[in-house]
Amino acid sequence: MSGNHQRVPEPRPGLRGVEPYQAPQLDVPVRLNTNECPYPLPPAFVEDLAAYLRDVKLHRYPDREARELRRRLAERLGVDPEGLWVAGGSNEILQQVLLAHGGPGRRALLFEPTYAMYPRIAWVTHTEVGRIDVVPPFVLGPDHVRGAVAAGAEITFVCSPNNPTGNAQPLEVIEELAGVLPGLVLVDEAYVEFGGKSAAGLVESCPNLVVVRTFSKAFALAGARLGYCVAAPQVVEDLRRVRLPYHVSALTQAAGLAALEHADDAMAILDAVRRERDRILEALGRLEGVEVFPSDANFVPGPVRRRAGLPAGDGGHAGGGRRVPGGDG
Ligand SMILES: Cc1ncc(COP(=O)(O)O)c(C=O)c1O
């Protein structure tokens, strides 16, 4: 055998220039950078989860369609289970949507600044990225709708509440985007339980709308990796074509079922998180020379030091978008 073959072959062009996703996972008392729930799960939930897990038949593959979980979740949301899909975290839903609707020669449109995973998953799925810069206070309006029409992307991402700026987007703008754009409008509602209005109710009248949500934040279940979307049944059908078989493990499905039984406990934690968020926002707002932006999410966008001589709203921002620390998720 020639020594020529005894080396690692080159991966696809550009891959070695992509840094692996690495939001730091520090062992510190207060961990802010991934927007997790700071409170552990209530003991009654842990007990029920243990009971569910005892019954899981791990020698069998899980239900590929996660029917029971989808049925119960759909019931909770008041939607048709055929129009609800689950995956390993909302990141996996985003990837499935890009696999189904992106790809070579197709484009995803982002309103920047926004969640850093969108361009990364777009790259992985060979999807081009178009960007529209949004300036403080980061609220989408008619100009952005016109920009999106001109961009002509196959998928337009709207993150609401947005990571990292924290603000929710007006439902009317989301409805308008869905009405005027021929492509998909993906609304990422990872933080919607903390503030803003959900677009899930619009899916029936806007079949190009995909509303993506997660158990990682409001359900305090980031470790279980469970996300879902509400979409037209045809969209769900197309996601089934690109998913890996058995992509949601039996353990994850069991955790989701237990979480739904304890949804009220989770919703009680929401209030505590919102109160703490507002307390921190208020305290930061009292600091001299610091500009604070409101948040509809479970995190506080990084405060910005106001530069002398600049009016509020403009202080310390580099270009159109302020640099916001944290919020890697
Ligand atoms: C806006 C946004 N979407 C999606 C996710 C991914 O969440 P998960 O994959 O845990 O559901 C995050 C995580 O922080 C996020 O901030």
Contact 202, 209 (CB under 8 A): yes
How much distance in Å is there from the Cα of 329 to the middle of ligand 1? 5
**pLDDT at residue 304 greater than cutoff 80:** no
Cβ burial, residue 1 (10 Å; 0-12/13-18/19+): exposed
Assigned CATH for 66-248? 3.40.640.10
Phi, psi of 129 (to 5 degrees): -120, 130
pLDDT at 5: 73
Contact 58, 250 (CB under 8 A): yes
Query: Among 3-17, 74-88, 196-210, 273-287, where is mean pLDDT lowest?
Result: 3-17
Contact 177, 158 (CB under 8 A): yes
Query: Among 41-45, 131-135, 214-218, 277-281, where is mean pLDDT lowest?
Result: 41-45
Confidence of residue 200 (pLDDT cuts 50, 70, 90): very high
How much distance in Å is there from the Cα of 255 to the middle of ligand 1? 18
**pLDDT at residue 176 greater than cutoff 80:** yes
User: DSSP letter at 88?
Assistant: S
Confidence of residue 2 (pLDDT cuts 50, 70, 90): low
End-to-end CA distance of the chain: 47
Whole-angstrom distance, CA of residue 75 vs CA of residue 218:
18
Mutate to test the pocket of ligand 1, among 115, 193, 212, 328 (most ligand atoms within 8 A of CB): 115
Atom in ligand 1 nearest the alpha carbon of residue 226: 11
How much distance in Å is there from the Cα of 295 to the middle of ligand 1? 16
Nearest Cα residue to 147 out of 173, 128, 169, 119? 173
pLDDT at 30: 83
Name residues contacting ligand 1 (CB within 6 A).
Answer: 35, 89-91, 115, 159, 163, 188, 190, 214, 216, 222, 227, 329
Confidence of residue 329 (pLDDT cuts 50, 70, 90): low
pLDDT at 204: 97
Whole-angstrom distance, CA of residue 76 vs CA of residue 264:
12
Q: Which three-class secondary structure state does DSSP give residue 290?
A: strand
